[in-house]
Amino acid sequence: MGRYLLRRLLIAIPSLVGISMVLFAVLALAPGDPFGDLALSPDIPPEVRETLRIKFGLDDPLPIRYLRWFVAMLHGDWGFSFASRIDVSRLILERVPTTLLVIGSSQVLALLIALPVGVFAAARPYSLFDQIASAFAFIGFSLPTFFTGLLFILLFSIELHWLPFVYRTDIGGTGWEWYWAHIRQAIMPVAVLGLFQGAAWTRYVRSAVLDVIRLDFVTTARAKGLPERVVIIRHVVRNALIPVVTLVALQMPAVFGGAIITEQIFRVPGIGSLLISSILANDTPVVMAVTFVFACLVILFNLLADLIYGWLDPRITYR
Amino acid sequence: MAVSVGTAGASRHDFVGADAMDEKALRGLVARVKAGRMSRRAFVRKMVGLGLTAPLAWQMLAHSGVARAATAPDYKPTKRGGGGALKVLWWQAPTLLNPHFAVGTKDQEAARIFYEPMAAWDPEGNLVPVLAAELPDLEKGTLARDGKSVTWKIKPDVKWHDGAPLTADDLVFTWEYATDPKTAAVTVGTYKGTTVEKVDALTVKVHFENPTPFWANPFVGQRGNIIPKHLFADYKGDKSRDAPANLKPVGTGPYRFVSFTPGDLVRGELNPDYHVPNQPYFDTIEMKGGGDAVSAARAVLQTGEYDYAWNMQVEDEILKRLEASGKGRVHIAPGGDIEHLQLNTTDPWTEVDGERASIKTKHPLLSDPAVREALAQLVDRESVQKFIYGRTGVASGDFLNNPPRYKSKSPKAEFNIEKANAVLDAAGWKRGADGIRAKDDKRLKFVFQTSINAPRQKTQAVIKQACQKAGIEIELKSVTAAVFFSSDVANTDTYTKFYCDLQMYNTTMPWPDPQPFMDQFVSWEVADKTNKWQGRNVTRWTSDECDKAYRDAMVELDPVKRAAHFIRMNDLVCAAHNVVPIVNRPKVQGIGNSLRCMVTSWDNDLSHLASWYRET
């Protein structure tokens, strides 16, 4: 097990270096200039742009820029934002709590919906409940989040005046009032993301459970006279979870990456909105940092998923 | 002279003559006002009666040394504070708070909550003193008669948010900071060719290299914010990015800094030591950034969650629907921005010396004045306003529209398909079998580009349809805004390269003075390879007459004669039909019903923030 982990971690290093090279090259080749806006202003002489480009080392050859970034990254320095003129790490850290809160709770919501609904639907396939669940699941993952988001705003904010649609991080007040204000503004973005994810996962859980529920060992468990609850939870769900774990684990990095569109619609100051505004502003150090951290998380959670397999299914061993 | 401004049209050459003739009478009137035999108001009324605009008349008085009452915004609260929270929404989020690094307006606006200039521009394009004790004036000698210097007197007892007094040293330092090339400040252009000298503790003198009629630029308006020497002195030049005050601004403004999350939120609280009595009204201010323009409009006009929304780039029809909810109103601040069609003077399809659209070439079709005239008559700007822009775009045949003192009164090409057809027939462009006109094997076919933006695509369609009726074929092309407006030298689709026959976009006029705006038609600003297509003259249209008018305006100190030069430039440009103005686009803001605020398009939205209040 230990050796396996070590080997996997060592393999991850060259992949991460490769990923960073590709990312860096793509960003460098992409059109656009972080100081392009300056050219639109009649009173800003072109020299200002030149000075800024030299100051931020944008005119150096690509390999040198990459090496500089790589060495800085090894020291834990994520770079310096062109647009905000502050450290990238500060920009990202400022947004981590909101992202984890909103996107994290939406994933929890998705799991809370997908697991029971999927299992219950598979336990009684083609029953009325299964039909309804399937119908809603199809509607859920067919509707894109930008559509449901706007729909929610129209219904709950404009028509009913129940919920605010501008997410604020500076809510005043203390105690319950403060919590309630936070919950109120998070309801819509969390629901939009959670329902979408939940609908997709429900289908996966259902089919995974269906695959397992007909197997002989389940029949045996039932024949032993075990109560149905125990059969489902201990024998069926545990075995059916393996593909689901992969899906969920691979989805976890997205919690960090944020949800670009939903964050934009509700003005949630998460990492997704940071990423999109940085891309629009050609703020390469921020884009680079966010995408690279994202790549690291994907690799990490892949590894984690492999480890969880072993716990769920002892037949899987690591060498 | 006044008459000539009013009716100058057909015979432009009479202009100077008429000028001299009426000038005497006018000077007489000004003298009467000075002697107190005529009220200033009566003078202005008389001038307006002669076809002159009020701001121009005021400026004439000011120039002749008759002080005018500064425009004071209507402000009712009788004590400072007590107004609760002011919540404003910017759909582009501010990313930094140092006004000298502020690239976009979003950053300028956020910095303007805390910092102030000596004077700001009001909605009519007039100056209003902010940190200045009074405006520079010819009569008082604070404005040099040769146009080479201006003296600013600082209001006494103004304090920075940390309690330190504002002095002439701060102004001199601001100038040093901005002009140090190593600081890489975006305001360096504002102070170009100036030196700032300290006269006494509360007076500075700005010297200009050349006579400068537009002296109200350094220390004024959006790029004129003054920063405290005691906090930035150690961070001038190379170290500019390390200054703690870049993220924690300390200014003189009506609100003090509380917190800032780049790309999301700026918060401020009432400044108890603000230099204007009873101001500001609100206890706190919160500027939320991000999202999109439509939902920002919603939050102000429909749900009332916010008090103010910046730059409502939303179709007027949607704005009207949202306004119907009764929570807020749309405010239109007239400005100089002009959405216009450009006709390439050069050949965009032939490469000469490594660049297309080279100034050395001539456009094979558009070099024919008849074709240009016909195209100018095929732009149905009335319909574009009526059906596309509504209140957010006023049809105009002039390139220079505002402030009103610079608006030409001469008639411009009108939409008329029959006339366009007649012009083309007369010039020998005959319709072929496919209905498209041709002459000497050259078909009238143009590629017409613009950025991707719904109103622009609709306008393109309107023009294309009219052109079809006149036997001109138009191929439409739309380019992503991020590419079209980029300054990327490698990209061939940028508007400054203009590798296309026709193109359309909006040119902004950030100052009420046309000098930094009309430079788009001078020969030394032509965009080409040598200046990496950063020249301001994108149409590449040049004329000696236009160059001369601009050069004259650059040194003309009499505001009336100067206005005449710019009006003449506008008329020359429009008569050549290489530029066809379409709609004049004002600044559009969403304002909550109870909020009272003065907003101008000649300065930041928040330039008069101190006087904002809520009517209860």
Chain A residues close to B488, C-beta within 8 Å: 31-33, 36
Chain B residues close to A42, C-beta within 8 Å: 510, 516-517, 519, 536
Confidence band (pLDDT; 50, 70, 90) for A47?
confident
Which residues are within 8 A (CB) of A272 and not within 5 positions of it... i.e. 6 or more apart? A99, A257, A258, A259, A260, A261, A262, A263, A264
**What global pTM score does this model have?**
0.84
* pLDDT single digits (tens) A95-149: 888 888 888 899 999 999 999 999 999 988 889 999 999 999 999 889 988 899 9
**CA nearest to A165 within chain B:** B299
Chain A residues close to B89, C-beta within 8 Å: 166
| pLDDT score of A80 | 85
Strands B613-614 and B595-596, sheet pairing: antiparallel
Chain B residues close to A166, C-beta within 8 Å: 89, 288, 291, 299, 305-306
| pLDDT score of B20 | 38
d(CA B410, CA B456): 27
| Biggest CA pair distance of chain B | 80
Chain A residues close to B298, C-beta within 8 Å: 153, 158, 165
d(CA B481, CA B485): 6
Cα dihedral sign, B206-B207-B208-B209:
negative
d(CA A303, CA B499): 52
pLDDT at A318 over 90: no
d(CA B135, CA B68): 10
Chain A residues close to B299, C-beta within 8 Å: 165-166
Q: In terms of C-beta density within 10 A (0-12 exposed, 13-18 middle, 19 or more buried), how is residue B203 classed?
A: middle
Residue A205 DSSP SS3? helix
Asked if B409 and B6 touch (Cβ cutoff 8 Å), the reply is yes
d(CA A87, CA B361): 48
Minimal C-alpha gap between B286 and chain A (Å): 9
Asked if B221 and B131 touch (Cβ cutoff 8 Å), the reply is no
Residues of B (519-548) whose Cβ lies below 8 Å from A: 519, 531-532, 534, 536
Inspect the interface and report whether the beta carbons of B263 and A84 lie closer than 8 Å: yes
**CA nearest to A168 within chain B:** B288
Q: Cα separations (Å) of A238 from A222, B120, B390?
A: 16, 70, 63
Question: Is this complex scored with an ipTM above 0.90?
Answer: no
CA dihedral A148, A153, A159, A162 (to 10 degrees): 120
Inspect the interface and report whether the beta carbons of A165 and B532 lie closer than 8 Å: no
Inspect the interface and report whether the beta carbons of A45 and B490 lie closer than 8 Å: no
Length, in residues, of chain A = 319
Residue type, B300: V
Which residues are within 8 A (CB) of A198 and not within 5 positions of it... i.e. 6 or more apart? A109, A110, A111, A112, A113, A114, A117, A140
d(CA B158, CA B130): 11
Query: Could you say which DSSP state residue B450 is in?
Result: E
d(CA B419, CA B437): 15
| pLDDT score of A40 | 67
* pLDDT single digits (tens) B252-310: 999 999 999 988 999 999 999 999 999 999 999 999 988 888 999 999 999 999 999 99
Chain B residues close to A40, C-beta within 8 Å: 485, 487
d(CA B521, CA B406): 16
| pLDDT score of B41 | 67
| pLDDT score of B44 | 67
Nearest in space to B573 (alpha carbons), one of B330, B340, B294, B388: B340
CA dihedral B133, B137, B143, B147 (to 10 degrees): 140
Nearest in space to B193 (alpha carbons), one of B177, B166, B212, B221: B212
Inspect the interface and report whether the beta carbons of A41 and B186 lie closer than 8 Å: yes
Minimal C-alpha gap between A156 and chain B (Å): 11
Mutant choice from B89, B91, B95 vs A, greatest count of A C-beta within 10 A:
B95
pLDDT at B534 over 90: no
Strands B265-270 and B255-261, sheet pairing: antiparallel
Inspect the interface and report whether the beta carbons of A81 and B532 lie closer than 8 Å: no
**CA nearest to A83 within chain B:** B95
- Owner of token pair 């606006």: B109
- Owner of token pair 């200009």: B208
- The better pLDDT of the pair B536, B489 is held by B536
What mean pLDDT is predicted for residues B16-33?
54
- On average, the pLDDT of chain A sits at 86
| pLDDT score of B551 | 94
